[in-house]
A and B are shown apart, each in its own frame.
Chain A
């Protein structure tokens, strides 16, 4: 026997058995019968209209006289609770003992459930309505939810075959991505610095060139070109010009990859903000496109890497155009001779071997955003 069986009889004929079996107890009985009659009347009223309108106190914030009566009953101290009569004979001592009465009316004390008496056919109607509604909702969620899964996953699950695409399929996920970018942008503050570390906390940083590592030959002829400047000119600087013109800062910060791994590394370089001061962008500019033309794909073919960065982030005091890694000039692995180091963004915005910076009023294209990653990537 389980407790389910033991409770069912109580549920079915609670009214009659309550009157017949229990020892008389005038006070609660009066209270109970009043509310019960009231409720039955309410139920009946609903039936007259031939529509099962739920009782007001059920899921409904509206209060009526009956509800007040029920609340009154809910506040009965626990010490009045007795165990059910049908189990009193066979229950071993372990199964039922009077619970020590906690302080009455305590804010944290569990309250007795609200109870209502319902005509059986009304209850059947409620059940049918709610279960059907639930079933429809479950089916809709199943259809809607599975349509959000990627095509390849659905094919693996055997749900779809062939190249079927829903035109609106990506809309919701793109929306979520945009909202997340907006949240990241709202969290960003030019004054909030990222944590810095000591040299003993430095961890290894792997060469994470997405494709093949470029041949070092490009370094000798390297130039940084800047476009979209206020002067209207296109300016090219080599690494000696840059190093002579700008002061170099050091910082030990964490670089976080979109994949989840991270590395604490010791960088040195010039502030992006100083470059913006020295070569101001056109007044309407809000964005910079940072580009590496020496980037290669996996088979070693040219695959220019381009990335968008908002000028707010570019002006962050810890956004560097790094020239040194671990106290040494950058190696080809890490983007010699100049790479972007923007610790408030994911690693994929930290372009290696920058060859060109173009300022613009509109958001420029982004290599990884075109591969379905987000645009802003603030962390």
Chain B
């Protein structure tokens, strides 16, 4: 994006610009990491919507027909429960379909959902390669690697998050633990687990898409049916990641959100810049 066509011109020592104080910015995310990050939003949304439509055709979690409701499937049970207990849903026309109607493309769309799922899945794999290329070209992969101190540091972060509401209520100072790394241990665990989940999604996806030609892959996950279960639960990793991710990004402020758009941050720790002997 930043084109390196630097104009060939002579430096002008009489310029007044030198007197303007500069802003120090730190490079945070490689261009490819930023692009692939944002592309994941529509791709994962498409994958989940179409994926639930595909799940609907043959739910993984089924049981014997319920004597009262005739329901066969856990998602239908949840819909029935919600429509009888949640105010405002009492008159919903088809309670067993509530969950599916709100999390999928809509009823009777297996063929459409499959082609959308393949389109998004190939996009997801290409996008994942862009992301990995950006991680390695920008050196960002080093910040994601788990460390030996992560367990202790994660507990410190959890303690901080648990304490924040109380500190706010008591109007007390409650300092964010400080780390000399790009991410704290919880962030690192989260940001490391998403590419891992991506690889698992792709691997389990291929295992259930080509269970005959790639039967060894299905066998790694415990066979065709087990691979379907894996594929289903890996989806929840993204959902469980995205919710706190979005909340915390907004809580953290514009600089953090902006850094995923523009690539740099003005939150520069001088400690990283000016070094001293302790």
Contacts and interface: CB of A to CB of B under 8 A. Distances in A.
Contacts of B22: 15, 36, 39-40, 43, 117-120
A257 interface: yes
Contacts of A137: 38
Counting contact residues on chain A (CB < 8 A from B), the size range is: 35 or more
Counting contact residues on chain B (CB < 8 A from A), the size range is: 35 or more
A145 B46 contact: yes
Contacts of B58: 257, 259-261
Contacts of B177: 94-95
A176 B115 contact: yes
A180 B225 CA distance: 22
A51 to B, nearest CB: 8
A145 B115 contact: no
A11 B268 contact: yes
A263 B212 CA distance: 13
Interface string A148-180: 111011001000000000000000111011011
Interface string B142-182: 11010000000000100000000000000001111111111
B112 A372 contact: yes
A370 B270 CA distance: 64
Contacts of A114: 26-27
A49 B6 CA distance: 10
Nearest to B101: A156
B269 interface: yes
Interface stretch (A17-25, A231-239, A240-248, A293-301): A17-25
Interface in B114-154: 114-116, 118-119, 122, 139, 142-143, 145
Contact of A59 (B31, B255, B261, B275): B31
A32 B24 CA distance: 12
B106 interface: yes
B180 A78 contact: yes
B269 A53 contact: no
A123 B277 CA distance: 32
Interface string A68-104: 0000010010111111110100111011101100000
B6 A194 contact: no
A29 B274 CA distance: 7
A4 B26 contact: no
Contacts of A81: 180, 271-272, 275
B209 A379 contact: yes
Interface stretch (A181-189, A219-227, A303-311): A181-189
A11 B57 contact: no
Contacts of B116: 148-150, 173
Nearest to B231: A260
Nearest to A371: B111
26 contacts: A14-B268, A18-B274, A25-B274, A43-B17, A44-B12, A48-B12, A59-B1, A82-B276, A83-B271, A84-B269, A85-B270, A96-B178, A114-B27, A116-B27, A119-B22, A119-B23, A131-B261, A142-B42, A145-B46, A148-B46, A172-B119, A176-B115, A177-B115, A195-B212, A257-B58, A259-B57
